[in-house]
């Protein structure tokens, strides 16, 4: 595997009042890898995600994208670089069909000016790409279903398809398995694996068997700090990791 870091954080710190929610965290997302951020509740995982996408501003530390310092960029500039956080369920338009949702997501990526809508060819291309993505996530048979009627697991799949529509180079997934039954977990895991073929993925995930199965690298956080990093075999044997999980 290529070991070049596409996204790296060095010495990130985030304080809330006098409390260090993220305390000197460094991590490197390698090109083409799946990297999991795990740890007990309150470890600082969500805050880390918010720092990497600049939803929050770090109090100290730096973020680099392919060697370029992006610490000062705004969230939309980060997204424009191709660093995209998965849509939250709330970003799915529940009153629209699955296909209409995909069109909305694709329009964010491919022009939405009047020129676009005057061209039959661009509309056909957009519809073709929407169906291609729905096919990839197993939703093509539900293309005309209103999103509100989708079971929860299928909504998560739609959310991932909408994120993929933005053609992210780096995809950040926030607990992709939360609330899913085993069948959906298996489907979404396969989807994440195939999505990683041409992009790098950083995910916060609680389901450790999914983490073990999918991740090339794992960063374990506890009380805002990095406790261990490495592959699953390495971190799962680490005494400090075992203690942190037992104690939570
Ligand atoms: P995790 O995602 O690992 O469960 P979080 O990043 O959500 O952890 O939270 C880390 C710590 O920071 C927790 O103790 C949490 O209560 C605290 N925290 C998170 N966001 C805020 C905030 N906006 N204001 C104050 N404290 C916060």
CATH of the domain at 245: 3.40.50.300
Last residue of a domain, one of 165, 197, 212: 165
- Residue 22 in this model has a pLDDT that exceeds 80: yes
**Mean local confidence (pLDDT), 58-80:** 94
**Mean local confidence (pLDDT), 118-130:** 84
Check pocket membership of 122 for ligand 1, CB cut-off 6 A. no
Task: Give the contacts of 55 (CB within 8 A, at least 6 positions apart).
Answer: 49, 75
**Mean local confidence (pLDDT), 35-62:** 95
| Residue nearest atom 14 of ligand 1, based on CA coordinates | 42
If you write DSSP's letter for every residue of 120-174 in order, what string do you get?
Answer: HHHHHHHHHHHHHHHHHTT-GGGTTSBGGGS-HHHHHHHHHHHHHTT--SEEEEE
Q: Give the pLDDT score at 90.
A: 64
- Which domain, by its residues, includes 112? 91-165
**Mean local confidence (pLDDT), 70-90:** 86
ipTM tops the 0.90 cut = yes
Q: Give the DSSP H or E segment for 47.
A: helix 45-52
Distance CA 224, CA 243 (A): 16
Angle of helix 152-164 relative to helix 120-136, nearest 10 degrees?
A: 130
Task: Give the contacts of 123 (CB within 8 A, at least 6 positions apart).
Answer: 116, 117
More confident residue, 127 or 115: 127
Last residue of a domain, one of 165, 200, 229: 165
When divided into structural domains, the chain yields a total of 2
Do 175 and 188 fall into the same domain? yes
Strand partners, 32: none
Q: Which atom of ligand 1 is nearest to the CA of 17?
A: 25
Do 173 and 76 fall into the same domain? yes
- The predicted-structure confidence for 145-192, as pLDDT tens digits, reads as follows 999 999 999 998 999 899 888 889 999 999 999 988 898 899 899 989
Check pocket membership of 219 for ligand 1, CB cut-off 6 A. no
| Residue nearest atom 24 of ligand 1, based on CA coordinates | 16
Rounded to the nearest whole angstrom, what is the distance from the C-alpha of residue 191 to the centroid of ligand 1? 29
Q: Give the pLDDT score at 116.
A: 66
Check pocket membership of 43 for ligand 1, CB cut-off 6 A. yes
Do 181 and 73 fall into the same domain? yes
Do 48 and 160 fall into the same domain? no
| Residue nearest atom 17 of ligand 1, based on CA coordinates | 21
Do 59 and 181 fall into the same domain? yes
Least confident of 52-61, 96-105, 120-129, 207-216: 120-129
Do 131 and 118 fall into the same domain? yes
Check pocket membership of 18 for ligand 1, CB cut-off 6 A. no
Last residue of a domain, one of 119, 139, 165: 165
The pTM of the full predicted model, rounded to 2 decimals, is 0.90
Q: Which atom of ligand 1 is nearest to the CA of 43?
A: 3
Strand partners, 221: 226
Do 137 and 173 fall into the same domain? no
Question: How many helices and strands (H and E) does the chain possess?
Answer: 10, 10
């Amino acid at each position: 595997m290529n070991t070049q870091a596409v996204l790296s954080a060095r010495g990130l710190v985030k304080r809330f009042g006098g409390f260090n929610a993220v305390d000197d965290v460094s991590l490197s997302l390698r090109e083409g890898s799946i990297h999991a951020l795990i740890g007990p509740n309150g470890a600082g995982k969500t805050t880390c995600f918010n720092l990497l996408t600049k939803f929050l501003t770090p109090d100290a530390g730096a973020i680099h994208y392919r060697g370029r310092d992006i610490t000062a960029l705004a969230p939309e500039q980060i997204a424009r670089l191709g660093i995209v956080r998965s849509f939250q369920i709330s970003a799915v338009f529940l009153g629209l069909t699955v296909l209409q949702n995909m069109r909305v997501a694709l329009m964010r990526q491919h022009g939405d000016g009047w020129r676009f809508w005057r061209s039959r060819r661009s509309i056909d291309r957009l519809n073709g790409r929407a169906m291609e993505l729905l096919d990839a996530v197993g939703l093509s048979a539900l293309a005309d279903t209103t999103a509100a009627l989708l079971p929860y697991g299928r909504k998560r799949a739609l959310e991932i398809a909408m994120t993929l529509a933005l053609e992210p180079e780096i995809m950040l997934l926030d607990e992709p398995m939360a609330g899913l039954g085993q069948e959906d977990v298996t489907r979404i895991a396969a989807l994440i694996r195939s999505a990683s073929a041409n992009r790098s993925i950083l995910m916060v995930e609680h389901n450790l068997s999914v983490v073990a199965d999918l991740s090339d690298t794992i960063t374990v956080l506890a009380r805002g700090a990095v406790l261990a990093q490495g592959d699953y075999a390495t971190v799962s044997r680490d005494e400090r990791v075992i203690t942190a999980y037992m104690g939570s």
